[in-house]
Amino acid sequence: MIVHQRYRLLILFTLLIAIFPIEIIGEETGSLDQSITEKQEEIDELDQETERISEELVRMNVDLLEKDKELGQIQQDIDKAEREISETEQEIEQLNDEMQELENRIEKREEIMGNRLRAMQQNDSNWGYIEVLLSAEGFLDFISKYTAVSTIIEQDQNIYQAQEDDLKDLAHIKEEISEQQNQLEQQLIDLEEDNENLAEQIDEMEQAEIRLEQELETNQLTLEQLEIEQEQLEKERQEEQQLALLSQEEPNNDRSRENNTAQGDSRRPSNAPAGNTDSTFIWPTIGGVITSYQGPRWGSFHKGIDIARPDDYSILAADGGIVTFSGWINGYGNTIEIDHQNGYTTQYAHLESKHVNVGQQVNQGDVIGIMGTTGRSTGIHLDFEVYYNGELLNPIDVLP
């Protein structure tokens, strides 16, 4: 019934072609070609932009890695400076203890010297070392007093010298502590400033990276949509070309079409080689040509045969059996598998639509679907495969 309806539509289309010049189809095809070309230019331009963004993202990732390393090094320097400051603080505590000891010694010396001066003032403010020597009553007394005076003078000199040295050391220690503190504090300030600046740079780069990733995602979505539109345009062009070919052929009437369906030879593609005369199968298409045989193709192995440009798009069950699969397979598109209950299994791929369901019993010659171009396909055709007990066969060897 479906076949009859398709031929009525074909007759109507032929009448329309007779009324309207066939150049209309050519004009529409030319318009589609122009649209496909423009769409491809958009895709190419978007591909280039996407590649540019991807390369920029790669460079940015490299720069971010370097910045992260710098940030890590600065953080290590900060940690080191903080440790040195802590160690310096401990040294400062020790220096403070030393300063306290010096201050105590200086204070004791000042006390001794103060006591001596007070004693001299109490006895006689004008009393001095010369008077002590001149008051000697004899040579031995002079020697004794001279020795005492020399000892006192030496002690005073030592006291003054020690006092002067300690005061210098104290001043040096204070200066050293102040310098160390200032250097470490300035180093820490510089490191923290570098750390802050580098963190800001990294943040800006990460924000730029996010924007590029968003732009890349938008481009990819746009690219996918353009590819879908281009695929639809390609499909429309193929349909237009197919209709143009069909319009040039003289359609047969319904009776002759039914007779062709009942005769195996009329179903054979025009370029099909001599087949198996004892075959129980029929050809799964109504006419057409074989565009690809089983064997190596495009770097892989083509398991079946491709049949295109049939007299009718209907796909027929090569033999009776049970439908074991009716769905989508990546690469194959819409696919139907039939188990013929005798060890043989046939597969029909790239269908535009499927007319049977899993578990359904079909008879030889039943229309199970319509030829199409779903999956990875370069045009409207049928990919037909045959298996026996799971082993792949060459369809040409088992078809009539």
The answer to whether the Cα torsion of 41, 45, 46, 51 is positive or negative is: positive
Residue 141 pLDDT level (bands cut at 50, 70, 90): low
Residue 72 belongs to a domain: yes
Q: What is the pLDDT of residues 299-329, one digit of tens each?
A: 788 999 999 999 899 999 999 999 999 999 9
Long-range contacts of 79-88 (CB under 8 A, 24+ apart): 81/184, 81/187, 81/188, 81/191, 82/188, 84/184, 85/184, 85/185, 85/188, 88/180, 88/181, 88/184
The share of the chain scoring above pLDDT 70, in percent, equals 73
Residue 42 belongs to a domain: no
Residue 283 pLDDT level (bands cut at 50, 70, 90): very high
156 pLDDT higher than 70: no
Q: Are residues 202 and 335 in the same domain?
A: no
Q: Which amino acid is at 150?
A: S
What is this structure's pTM? 0.39
Residue 134 belongs to a domain: yes
Residues of the domain holding 344: 265-400
Task: Specify the pLDDT at position 222.
Answer: 80
- CA–CA separation, 280 vs 342, rounded Å? 11
Q: How is residue 298 annotated by DSSP?
A: T
The answer to whether the Cα torsion of 316, 317, 323, 329 is positive or negative is: negative
User: Which of 194, 221, 248 lies at the terminal end of a domain, its last residue?
Assistant: 221
Q: Are residues 324 and 378 in the same domain?
A: yes
24 pLDDT higher than 90: no
Q: Are residues 64 and 185 in the same domain?
A: yes
Average pLDDT value over all residues in the chain: 77
**CATH number, position 392:** 2.70.70.10
Q: Are residues 79 and 214 in the same domain?
A: yes
User: Which of 167, 199, 221 lies at the terminal end of a domain, its last residue?
Assistant: 221
Residue 272 belongs to a domain: yes
Which residues contact residue 2 at a Cβ distance below 8 angstroms, ignoring those fewer than 6 apart?
Answer: 314, 355, 367
Residue 382 contacts residue 292 (beta carbons within 8 Å): no
Q: Are residues 280 and 177 in the same domain?
A: no
Residue 230 belongs to a domain: no
Q: Are residues 202 and 296 in the same domain?
A: no
Residue 36 belongs to a domain: no
Q: Provide the domain count of the chain.
A: 2
